[in-house]
Amino acid sequence: MSIPRLKAEASCEQVLAAIETAGGVVVDRLVSADFMDEVAAELRPWIENTPTGTDDFEGHRTRRTGGLIARSPKSRELMMHSLILGAARHILGRATSIQVNATQAITIGPGEPAQVIHRDQWAFDMYPFAKDYQVIVNTIWAMTDFTAQNGGTRVIPGSHKFEDKLRFSEGDTEPVEMSKGSAFLYPGTTYHGGGANRSEANRIGISLSYSASWLRQEENQYLAVPIEIARTLPEDLLRLIGYQRGAYALGYVDDLRDPMEFVRPDLARRGLAH
Ligand SMILES: O=C(O)CCC(=O)C(=O)O
Ligand SMILES: [Fe+2]
């Protein structure tokens, strides 16, 4: 089995079918290369100032630049992309609502070895979630072209249905090759890892992940997005980053208040059962 590819005009149903079969899909040129260059321009100063990782998983030649909702207004459009968001809501549909899990521009530098093959849902303390209950959906948007040489993400097609806690090596995987502006979409159960960068240039991917909103967010959005910036965000994005109650009452403030009261009182809702 190889990683399926779809055109940008693909329907949500096609995306879901590809993921159900293969555990991931590349949507080619979902945004234009020019659009990605604008995102890159917003992020360049932040990436330049990001330190490299401190362990093998983070990557000693890899920089992980977060806080993208605050730092890159253009990246908000990637987060809210209707095809991706529609597919994420469906895949995470067993949960009452979904939220932003983390935002990361991942710059894999030349000479970085391959990252360990893993499942993103292992972030939740390796908890053995039920096989039919997805808790994470991740997108990796190509900000540079992704190739087998430059560290394109390595994936094991079909591995979303494998047993948990398995170990693999690079040879078990295939590379995600895609051009700038394309997106690779996969659930938290698919085995994958960043590829080794055997080229002379950086490989940059923007990882935007979504999770079931009863879980703790990997990236703390309340602190990563300063409240003055949060106040300027559209309502749907503001709720998605966490200013909403998950399930029935998760995340309320003091007297059962809607967290929205603290950023946009005009949008707050009364009572838990809305
Ligand atoms: O950078 C990549 O291609 C993948 C990174 C990844 O899987 C992770 O950090 O969890
Ligand atoms: Fe990962």
Ligand 1 pocket, mutate which of 108, 140, 208, 209 (most atoms under 8 A from CB): 140
DSSP-derived pairing of the beta strands 174-175 and 154-155: antiparallel
Cβ atoms of 195 and 86 within 8 Å: the answer is no
**Which residue, by CA, sits nearest to atom 1 of ligand 1?**
194
Residue with tokens 């779809």: 6
Overall average pLDDT of the 174-201 stretch? 98
| pLDDT-based confidence at residue 274 (cuts at 50, 70, 90) | low
> How far away, in angstroms, is 25 Cα from ligand 1 center?
15
> What are 5's strand-pairing partners?
26
Residue 223 pLDDT > 80: yes
Tell me the pLDDT tens digit for each residue of 139-160. 999 999 999 999 999 999 999 9
Rounded to a whole number of angstroms, the CA Rg of the chain reads 18
Spatial distance between the Cα atoms of 62 and 108, rounded to a whole number of angstroms: 4
Ligand 1 pocket, mutate which of 101, 115, 182 (most atoms under 8 A from CB): 115
Establish how many alpha carbons lie within 13 A of residue 100's alpha carbon, considering only the half-sphere containing its beta carbon: 29
Return the pLDDT at 273.
64
For the chain, what percent of residues have pLDDT higher than 70?
99
Spatial distance between the Cα atoms of 116 and 154, rounded to a whole number of angstroms: 10
Overall average pLDDT of the 231-237 stretch? 98
- Tell me how crowded residue 126 is: count the other CB atoms within 10 A of its CB: 10
For the chain, what percent of residues have pLDDT higher than 90?
96
Question: For the whole prediction, is pTM greater than 0.85?
Answer: yes
| pLDDT-based confidence at residue 126 (cuts at 50, 70, 90) | very high
Domains and CATH numbers, the chain: 5-214 (2.60.120.620)
Residue 109 pLDDT > 70: yes
Spatial distance between the Cα atoms of 135 and 189, rounded to a whole number of angstroms: 9
Return the pLDDT at 30.
98
